[in-house]
Amino acid sequence: MTQAKILVARAVFPEVIASLQAHFEVTSNQDDVVWTKAQLIEQLQGKDGALTTGSERIDADVLAACPQLKIAANMAVGYNNFDLVAMSHHGVQGTNTPDVLTDTTADFGFALMMATARRMTESEHFLRRGEWTKWRYDMFMGSDIHGATLGILGMGRIGQGIAQRGAHGFGMKVIYHNRSRLDPAAEARCQATYVSKEDLLKRADHLVLVLPYSAESHHSIGAAELAQMKPTATLVNIARGGIVDDAALAAALKARTIAAAGLDVFEGEPQVHPDLLTLPNVVLTPHIASASGPTRLAMAKLAADNLVAFFKQNAVLTPVNSVVSAIK
Ligand code: GLV
């Protein structure tokens, strides 16, 4: 039987490429060029499978132009770059990388919340500018984490990881809102109380967003929601750009209707709303919440394992859609 042809759409660990080469004919983009849609379509010609990242959109145009494609294995837990309806329609399997990144991403969400509340980057920039000439009692006063109310919007695996860190490590009171309420055992594990979205916005001292992006969650936090938050509150987004209306957030941060924000994801990233770049009360990181060495390697390996399982066992480990007849 001829080997399946695989496209690795972005640079990835050389050992993962080598493991794929043991099974497949592999074309890889180790130069890490970010392709246009037309270039992606061209690269996918004749390919049976692809290892993708959140930057490659697998939509109806791509699927129609690449009829040989059978699977796209995303190296990310989020898969809003996949048009799942179109993929299922074209019989294309999608997979993601859940679980392996939960703790690393929860650690980062917590760190970003702490950096935001305690004004770490703002004060570091002050120091680096050479402006630190004396100690002062009210210099860079922030807000406390311990004992504060932690609000979580989106209570999946990562949300629950953040809740547990807050409740057990820092004595925080945890409230959450989610499409569906957790079962009592999970609520007890997280020491978390289910509240309405309105209550969440009003009561949280630190609000962390961990919900998937979709048409329904687009601009879940906009001007109206920001207006309901405490003026002392912080907002952290480690979920996806587009969940927050970044222009409205910049306006709220400027007017100090909330105290500060920590953002790892942005609308239209890697572009960042220019107003956010000028504001002192926002901590900005370039979509790195899952970026510890072991976790990024585990993500790449899981994406590769999905490709191997698909072509060798006609099954995948972590599907995100159901496909009637995956092997075309
Ligand atoms: C990163 O954003 C992911 O979805 O894994």
What is 134-172 written as a DSSP string?
A: S--TTTT----STTSEEEEE--SHHHHHHHHIIIIIH--
Q: Give the model's pLDDT for residue 37.
A: 98
Which tokens in the block code for residue 102? Answer: 């939960």
30 CA from centroid of ligand 1 (Å): 20
- Of all protein residues, the one whose alpha carbon is nearest to atom 3 of ligand 1 is 76
17 CA from centroid of ligand 1 (Å): 20
Q: Give the model's pLDDT for residue 2.
A: 86
- Of all protein residues, the one whose alpha carbon is nearest to atom 1 of ligand 1 is 76
Mean pLDDT in order along the chain per 10 residues (328 residues) = 93 98 98 97 98 98 98 98 97 98 98 98 98 98 98 98 98 98 98 98 99 97 98 98 98 98 98 98 98 98 98 97 69
223 CA from centroid of ligand 1 (Å): 26
237 CA from centroid of ligand 1 (Å): 12
Alpha-carbon distance of 213 to 285, in angstroms, equals 19
Rounded to two decimals, what is the model's pTM? 0.96
- Cβ-proximal residues to 20 (8 Å cutoff; 6+ apart), any chain: 6, 8, 26, 51, 304, 307, 308
134 CA from centroid of ligand 1 (Å): 42
- Which SS3 state, helix, strand or coil, does residue 19 take? helix
Q: Give the model's pLDDT for residue 327.
A: 47
Q: Give the model's pLDDT for residue 326.
A: 45
Q: Give the model's pLDDT for residue 325.
A: 55
Ligand 1 test: best mutation among 105, 158, 237, 297, most atoms within 8 Å of CB? 105
Q: Answer yes or no: 269 catalytic.
A: yes
Q: Answer yes or no: 206 catalytic.
A: no
What residues line ligand 1, using a CB cutoff of 6 Å?
54, 76-78, 101, 290
Contacts of 279-283 spanning 24+ positions with Cβ under 8 A: 279/250, 279/253, 279/254, 280/122, 280/125, 281/119, 281/122, 281/253, 281/256, 282/116, 282/253, 283/112, 283/115, 283/116, 283/120, 283/121, 283/122
- Of all protein residues, the one whose alpha carbon is nearest to atom 5 of ligand 1 is 76
55 CA from centroid of ligand 1 (Å): 10
Ligand 1 test: best mutation among 290, 292, 295, 299, most atoms within 8 Å of CB? 290
Exactly one of 165, 203, 240, 296 is catalytic; name it: 240
Q: Answer yes or no: 287 catalytic.
A: yes
Ligand 1 test: best mutation among 52, 53, 74, 77, most atoms within 8 Å of CB? 77
Alpha-carbon distance of 8 to 131, in angstroms, equals 47
